Amino acid sequence: MKFGCITYWYERGQAFFAREIRRLLCQAGHDVFIFARQDESIPRAVFHEQDWSVPNLTRYPEYKIPFETLSPWIDKRALDVVFFNEEYDFDLVRSIKQKGIRTIGVFWWELFDPQWVDLCNEVYDLIICPFEACYDKFKNLGVKGAKHVKWGAFSDEIVPVSRKAEKVKVFHPGGWGGWKERRATRSVVDAFYELKNFDCAELHIHLQCDIGLPPFPHIEISYGTLPRGEFIKLFANADIVAIPDRWTGLGLNFFEAMSAGLPILTVDGPPMNEFVRSGVNGFCCKVARTEEHLNIFVPALIVDPKDMAEKMSLLVSQRDLLEEMKQVTRAYFEQKWSWEVNGPPLVAAFEFKEEKNGESQSCV
């Protein structure tokens, strides 16, 4: 089959989501064509072209895509299916569907306005839900094409490294910081300074931009958008990953941490507690309170820094427990979250195949 993908195509979560899909579909023998839109607010300097140069790539210089531009691009490639990655121009999707093209979409659950339900039912054949909480929400809202397609990561991208160091290193991937401090970077700092065995640990925070953090003793803060290979090394040089996101749309850092065999500290709420089985591949920490934000359609979960500090202290003080949990985390990833396990169902969904009596059957 021939698939088109309308998406960002540079260092951000939406693009990594599309890149995983592209690799899986190509491995399954399909042709994938990328139509890469541009976000004018992102400087070109953040691009690492070597990471994003792929066959069948078309770059478009603006965010808004006219039907008159996209339609001939689709026709020239004789596409069977078009995947819209977080597309809010429903008229554009409707026009493509009216051409007889199958349409697939994804929306991050925290940004999905319930007013869009009828539009999605009209213009999309399938809406991908990468975790259970997203699927439950969409089904309860009445999204008819919602399908839970469990996400994953490639087991060969991040290989666990045996690390022997005097101090336990906690790594916090803070990204761009996130709307309303979604990445909870300051909570990680607060938890770190609550550690009972402070002298036995160190914290590394990596941010893609300056969010106004002052210098802190015993905390390393690095900045910049790194090439993929350099970013992965940050996981390899850590022992624990702190990801107490207030909410998340996909949770790529969870999969990166699990693939690296690193226990995760997160907050005990969906979908974060879908990725972390407390006591197995990390710990889910108490929710101190919740907040509501305009145009964010899920509650923000604020982690309890003291509880996170207690969980962190447990792993810092008991090195044998930490090493055992590292081994278990990688095995848990391979059994539950690798693309080797979760990839075939995703490909089948994009092929519009259903499972009946244990066999995949085409719906095309």
Is residue 46 within 8 A of residue 38, CB to CB? The reply is no
Q: Look at residues 195, 145, 332, 183 and name the one whose alpha carbon lies nearest to residue 257.
A: 332
Q: Look at residues 146, 145, 144 and name the one whose alpha carbon lies nearest to residue 135.
A: 146
Grade residue 363 by pLDDT with cuts at 50, 70 and 90: very low
Q: What is the mean pLDDT of residues 297-319?
A: 96
Distance CA 80, CA 8 (A): 21
Grade residue 45 by pLDDT with cuts at 50, 70 and 90: very low
Grade residue 156 by pLDDT with cuts at 50, 70 and 90: confident
Q: What is the mean pLDDT of residues 142-150?
A: 96
Mean pLDDT estimate for the chain? 91
Residue-range domain boundaries for the chain: 2-152+340-362, 168-336
pLDDT of residue 48: 63
Please check whether the two domains, 2-152+340-362 and 168-336, share a CATH topology: yes
pLDDT in tens, 53-74: 899 999 999 999 999 999 999 9
Q: How much of the chain, in percent, has pLDDT values that exceed 90?
A: 77
Asked if the model's pLDDT at residue 160 lies above 90, the reply is no
Whole-angstrom Cα Rg for the chain:
21
CATH of the domain spanning 2-152+340-362, picked from 2.60.40.10, 3.40.50.2000, 1.10.3720.10, 2.10.109.10: 3.40.50.2000
Distance CA 298, CA 296 (A): 6
Token code pair at residue 159 = 């290989």
Cis-peptide into 271, omega within 30 deg: yes
Q: What's the Cα-to-Cα distance from 1 to each of 53, 79, 168, 291, rounded to whole Å?
A: 22, 8, 48, 45
Distance CA 240, CA 136 (A): 30
Q: What's the Cα-to-Cα distance from 271 to each of 116, 121, 309, rounded to whole Å?
A: 22, 24, 21
pLDDT of residue 41: 65
Distance CA 72, CA 82 (A): 13
Is residue 101 within 8 A of residue 79, CB to CB? The reply is yes
Asked if the model's pLDDT at residue 300 lies above 70, the reply is yes
Determine phi and psi for 202, rounding to 5 degrees. -140, 155
Q: What is the mean pLDDT of residues 71-90?
A: 98
User: What CATH class has 168-336?
Assistant: alpha beta
Asked if the model's pLDDT at residue 276 lies above 90, the reply is yes
For residues 60-75, one letter each, b for 16 or more C-beta atoms within 10 angstroms of the residue's C-beta and e for the rest, the string is: beeeebeeeebeebbe
Looking at residue 65, its amino acid is I
CA torsion angle for 92, 131, 282, 198 (degrees, to 10)?
30
Q: What's the Cα-to-Cα distance from 208 to each of 71, 110, 127, 176, 258, rounded to whole Å?
A: 35, 22, 30, 5, 21
Q: What is the mean pLDDT of residues 309-321?
A: 95
Residue at token pair 């009828």: 118
Question: In the structure, how many helices (H) and strands (E) does the chain have?
Answer: 13, 17
